[in-house]
Amino acid sequence: MSRVHDVLRITKCNFSGYFPVTAHKGSSRFLNIEHDFEQKLAEGMRKLQPIKITDVFSLQWIIKAIQSTLEAHTNIKTLVTELHLPVSDWDEKCIDIYLDSSVKVLDICNIFSAEINRLNQGQLLLRYVLHILDTSNSFPSSERLRRARVSLDDWLKKTNSRSTKLDSCHAILQTLKTTICLPKAKTSAKGRVLKRALYGVGVMTLFTCSVILAALTGSSIPLIDLHISDKFLWLESFHSLQAFLHEGIRREHSNGKLSMLKEMEAFRLSALMFHSLTNGIDSKEEPGELNTELSKDGSSSQWKYANPEEKERTQECIKLLTNGGQLLGNQLDSFSKQVNDLFQVLLNGRDALLCNLRASNISKRNEVKM
């Protein structure tokens, strides 16, 4: 996606949105603005510090990481507004960095969305399983238990695959790394604040996306080590977080074993337990036997357990499946929402910047004509 194409496709825009067109008079508190922004960025990084490294391999942590990244990008909008820095005064290097990096993050959001869609396809199977295992009226018939087991087996097979688009995400992250830099060219005090803010958000975005990719793929390969030389208020928080996560993730994968998201792993274990408990339903062997009397739900075959303990274990397993399936579905919905929100913030920011660039160029041409 080129800047020229982006400029040409925008016909309408709200000039009071992300990036103001005209500067406002009055003194600027840009040093305080820079301090506040970097403090918020540092706080966002500290929130991502897990109690133990295995917490990173969970949808709960991934959602938190996307939220922190979203907040950082939203804070850029606030910072630009507070600086009263018109796009016409932006350093061209800053504009290039923002446009180049944001389009790559949009691509990453699309890849994450594709993986979410793949996981949601498995959710259709889980909803069906939870429906036929509903114990609110009666214990499921043998036919329902068998159908649930077959569907869970299909779900287990799906968990061994992943979206092929995830494989291309690491390459995008590597190119994103090349766009994140701190321009050394002389600029105004306001311009300096903007450069440092864009750099900080770039570091935050690259870091969180690489760790999220590592969690989704169950591999340490996507991790990208970042070396920050300049002084920032968020530097200590970042170094601490990066060291803890990278060392921990690489240690977890030192044996070459791939990890699964915690919520999915918990459900997988429950599914395997259910398979073991209901494996004899297709035969008339112990530990249970078939009762051919009509069950309450109309099924002609009701599984009769040889002892109450086994039925109780099956009921407990069904409860684990129900709770785990609902949790997994809710977390996937939250993950999807956060990714969509981040995508929209980035898209709006790009559109506003490109729109104001277009307006600024028109204004300059009119001044020349006059």
What amino acid occupies position 144? Answer: R
- pLDDT for the residue numbered 360: 58
Where in the sequence is the domain holding 248, given as residue range(s)?
A: 29-141+161-271+305-369
Structure tokens, 193: 């604040």
Question: How far out from the chain centre does Cα 143 lie?
Answer: 39
Residue 204 half-sphere exposure, CB side, CA atoms within 13 Å? 34
Pairwise CA distance, residues 90 & 195, whole Å: 9
What amino acid occupies position 307? Answer: N
**3-state SS, residue 363:** helix
- Domain contains 182: yes
What amino acid occupies position 1? Answer: M
Structure tokens, 21: 């067109």
- Domain contains 318: yes
Pairwise CA distance, residues 358 & 135, whole Å: 62
- Domain contains 283: no
Q: What is the pLDDT of residues 6-40, one digit of tens each?
A: 433 333 343 334 444 434 433 457 889 999 999 99
Cβ-based burial of 10 (10 A; exposed 0-12, middle 13-18, buried ≥19): middle
- pLDDT for the residue numbered 297: 47
Pairwise CA distance, residues 206 & 173, whole Å: 7
DSSP 126-185: HHHHHHHT--SSSPPPHHHHHHHHHHHHHHHHHTT---TTHHHHHHHHHHHHHH-----S
User: Phi and psi (nearest 5°) for 203?
Assistant: -60, -45
User: Phi and psi (nearest 5°) for 277?
Assistant: -70, -30
**Model confidence at 319: pLDDT above 80:** yes
Q: HEC profile for 50-75? A: CCCHHHHCCHHHHHHHHHHHHHHHHH
- Domain contains 282: no
DSSP code, position 191: H
- Domain contains 118: yes
214-218, 311-315, 330-334, 354-358: range with highest mean pLDDT? 330-334
Strands 288-291 and 302-305, sheet pairing: antiparallel
Number of domains in the chain: 1
- Angle in degrees, CA 106, 253, 256, rounded to 5: 110
- pLDDT for the residue numbered 252: 87
Pairwise CA distance, residues 134 & 124, whole Å: 16
Distances (CA, A) of 351 to 27, 116, 146, 368: 29, 26, 53, 26
Q: Are 18 and 348 in contact (CB under 8 A)?
A: yes
pTM: 0.83
Pairwise CA distance, residues 273 & 18, whole Å: 52
- Domain contains 277: no
> Per-residue confidence at 280, pLDDT binned at 50, 70, 90?
confident
- Domain contains 312: yes
Q: What is the pLDDT of residues 228-262, one digit of tens each?
A: 988 899 999 999 999 999 999 999 888 766 678 99
- Domain contains 94: yes
Give the whole-number percent of the chain exceeding pLDDT 90. Answer: 54
